[in-house]
Structure 1
Amino acid sequence: MYDHVTDAVKRPAMISVDSDLVCVRFETMKIYSALGAVRALLDSGQVRPGDTLVDSSSGIYAYALALACHRHGMQCHIVGSTTVDRVLRVQLEILGATVELVQPSSSLRLDQNLRVHRIAELLRENPSYHWMRQYHDSVHYSGYAEVARQIAAEVPAGPLSIVGAVGTGASTGAIASGLRAAGRDVLLVGVQPFGSVTFGSEHIDDAEILIAGIGSSIEFENVRHELYDRIHWLSFDYAMSGAVGLLRSSAVFAGLSTGAAYLAARWEHRLDGARRPVFIAPDTGHRYVDSAFSRYAEAYDVDKLEPVEIESLGELARPWSAMNWAGRPAPMPAAAGSSAGPVPTGRCGGAGR
């Protein structure tokens, strides 16, 4: 019997897809991130039960942090993207979290900048709040060691490609690092949307961007660029097609970042059939029903989709580009900092890369 629901829902299922691919299917992946971070902060004395933890989220981290706070007797305040739907918001509020959403925006940059500025205001108004810094604090890497151990135990021996959304970097980067430390041969393949500074695609807009959780218009300080071997950039319509194709072929109902990772994993397997692709499905598809899955008739046949292989960021082009990143450092815009202005300070708990 589980002591708390977080233990029941955090463990992913390993699902065979298209015979040779493995889907690591989570109900909500960032429970590992939030639980690991909160436990580390409590153990170090940086926070105490009853303190208020605050962060920005486009969806799944908000739910994970609310669950972690519920488990450990903390207060939770979320500054959310408009992708936080009514179903999620009601759950968060019943769990005891306070939720505020920024104004609707079709721009990834404006949405994330508004959330960053609101966090700064909250910290000035409430200096006792602890900002979780899911985009900046390397403490969020710690929880994913358990996922790496599960993959090592359940996926047969041999070289792997770990394929998934970069997001903050703490998930795919941490999983690959754990597997490499255990001696597994791992190629790390990151997935990005267009419009994200993290891997240099901020100059290419995607008018229908709805997958803010896998990219950023501001610098994510806990992304370790040197860990990544390959990067794929995909547009909304291709990510949607991948999610619909995955549901049709394997009955796995997962979000848009999973659709993008699925396409990237298929391509990586075509390039190197000896390396088993393991792609990350960080959440279910429920919050994308209206914005994406209801448009399934528009989805492309995934068997007919392939990227343009590029050699430099200057060649990036929609709808799908792929590149050998080969452990390069952050591209200049990300390394130089954000257009959003100064990163908020406050009770950051020694946060850093």
Structure 2
Amino acid sequence: MELTAFADVVEAQRIPTLVRLSDNLYAVVFRLMKLVPARHILRQAESSGLLTADTTVVETTSGTFGLALAMQCALSGHRLVLVSDPVIDARLHRQLTHLGATVDIVRHPAEHGGFQASRLARVEEIRAGLPASFCPEQYSNPEQPMSYALVADLLWERLGQVDCLIGPVGSGGSMCGTARHLRQACPDLTAVGVDAHLSVLFGQPDGHRVLRGLGNSMMPANLDHTEFDEVHWLDTATAFAATRDLYRSRALFMGPTSGASYFVGSWWAARHPDAVTVVMLPDEGHRYVDTVYDDVWLAANGLGDPVAQREPTVVTDPRPAGAGWSRMGWARRTLAEATGSGDPLPAGAL
């Protein structure tokens, strides 16, 4: 866990900082969480011979996993091709290209699975035309959740007992990997996932989501539903407001996935004052200066005045969870057990 005095930038920045927010609430603060799996997956691929000096790395991403890969590939000298879609943030796009990555934009969503399905198809098309390629496959590579043993070890070393872990869910790796490894020392750990409405991850129908960085239009293989005791769904306006409150009240300049995690974590910790609660804050807020942190943009998009909810709406079926802030006791069940069918509702059924 200790760093040498001469660690490279990825090694130095992948280790999170543990911050105390209240008597029983702690935050795992990352500059860029995805550096954890990016470093680990590429190092494992090099060790196994899957990634050589002449191999091109190809991956699908519209977020920070691409940035993490670009940073690591810039240091290692590997060519990197990232497949994304039109919602990619303009600032992130510039960062990626300045780091030497090729960004391939898919313009049309697939009939089933949306842009994520069309991006995956484009990845396979690009790889078919290359003499040697490696795809990290963040959604299905078992090394992705395994990489978060680093975070679990840090929590155990610094805090000892951890009673509740709360974090956003996108690819499934960070929460599933951290919770699974931490339960070796804390078997009674409660794991709480935070999702966006109109994300298929916990059974809702797929739909348009403004809140990025959590949620998904496809079910990733790395999401193990049986790791979760509880799931919360947040609306965009609430997550954005919580992100700004996190900065104003705690001086933590983070992105909206962190705000969503903080919102749910603050509620949970207040209702369990004797429990050591930890929230995962995945990345900093620089990409959101012109959106989440811009009053004019929020007002123009109808996101400046969230509906005040002191308590979540408790649901027993995730599929018609609706809008606002909802909560469901998941009880470490499979998706099929939790929904009765395992399938999300058809699009437009809400």
Superposition TM-score tier, normalisation by shorter sequence: 0.7 to 0.9
> Partners of 2:285 and 2:323 in 1: how far apart?
24
Query: Which of 200, 204, 225 does residue 203 from structure 2 map onto?
Result: 200
Q: Is the 8 A contact 2:244 2:259 kept in 1?
A: yes
Aligned to 1:181: 184
Instruction: Name the SS for the 2:126 alignment partner.
Output: helix
For residue 247 of structure 1, what is the aligned residue in structure 2? 247
Runs of 5+ in structure 1 lacking a partner?
A: 340-353
Structure 1 CA distance, aligned partners of 2:96 and 2:147? 22
The one-letter amino acid of 1:88's match is: L
- Three-state SS of the structure 2 residue aligned to 1:181 is coil
Q: What is the match of residue 318 of structure 1?
A: 323
Give the letter for the 2:272 counterpart: D
- Provide closer, same or farther for how the CA distance between residues 265 and 46 of structure 1 changes in structure 2, counting only shifts above 3 A: same
SS at match of 1:171: helix
How far 1:32 sits from its partner (Å)? Answer: 0.6
In 2: Cα distance, 1:79 partner to 1:185 partner: 40
Q: Deviations over 1:25-69 (max 9, x none)?
A: 111001011111111111122222331111111221011111222
Partner of 1:202, secondary structure, is coil
Alpha-carbon contact 1:54-1:131 (below 8 Å) kept: yes
State which of 286, 307, 331 in structure 1 corresponds to 2:312: 307
Amino acid at match of 1:308: T
SS in 2 for 1:167: coil
- One-letter code aligned to 1:280: M
2:172 corresponds to which of 169, 172, 190? 169
Give the whole-Å Cα distance in 1 for the aligned partners of 2:147 and 2:72: 12
SS at structure 1 position matched to 2:279: strand
Map of 2:263 onto structure 1: 263
Encode CA deviations 1:269-311: one digit per residue, 9 max, x unaligned. 2332222221111111111222222136755589854311112
Q: Are the aligned partners of 1:24 and 1:279 in contact in 2 as well (CA < 8 Å)?
A: yes
CA contact (8 A) 2:156 2:162 kept: no
**CA distance change for structure 1 residues 251 and 82 in 2, over 3 Å: closer, same or farther?**
farther
Give, as a single letter, the amino acid of the residue that structure 1 aligns with 2:270.
Answer: R
Which amino acid counterpart does residue 56 of structure 2 have in structure 1? T
One of 36, 50, 57 as aligned partner of 2:54: 50
- Cα distance change on mapping 1:243 and 1:104 into 2, 3 Å: farther
Identity %: 30
Residue type matched to 1:329 in 2? T
The answer as to whether partners of 2:203 and 2:343 remain within 8 angstroms in 1 is no
Partner-residue secondary structure (3-state), 1:123: helix
Distance 1:148 1:321, change over 3 A: same
| Alpha-carbon offset, residue 314 of structure 1 | 4.3
Gapped regions of structure 2 (runs ≥ 5): none
Shift of 1:81: 3.8
Q: Aligned pairs, how many? A: 333
Aligned partner letter, 2:115: D
Deviation at 1:127, TM superposition (A): 5.9
Could you tell me which residue of structure 2 aligns to residue 342 of structure 1? none
SS of 1:318's equivalent in the other structure is coil
CA drift of 1:329 comes to 1.0
Which residue number corresponds to residue 34 of structure 1? 38
CA contact (8 A) 1:192 1:232 kept: yes
Aligned CA distance change for structure 1 residues 235 and 334 (closer, same or farther; 3 Å): farther
Q: 2:134 is matched with which residue? A: 130
Distance 1:315 1:84, change over 3 A: closer
Query: Per-residue displacement from partner, 1:120-147 (whole Å, max 9, x unpaired)?
Result: 3223333632222111111112321111
Equivalent position SS for 1:287: helix
CA pair 334-252 structure 1, distance change in 2 beyond 3 A = farther
Larger relative contact order (CA 8 Å, sep ≥ 6):
1
Aligned ranges for residues 16-165 of structure 1 at < 5 Å?
16-103=20-107, 110-126=114-130, 128-155=132-159, 157-165=160-168
129-138 or 69-78, which moves further after superposition? 69-78
**Hey, what's the Cα distance between the residues in 2 that align with 1:195 and 1:10?**
30
Name the CA distance, whole Å, in 2 between partners of 1:333 and 1:75.
Answer: 45
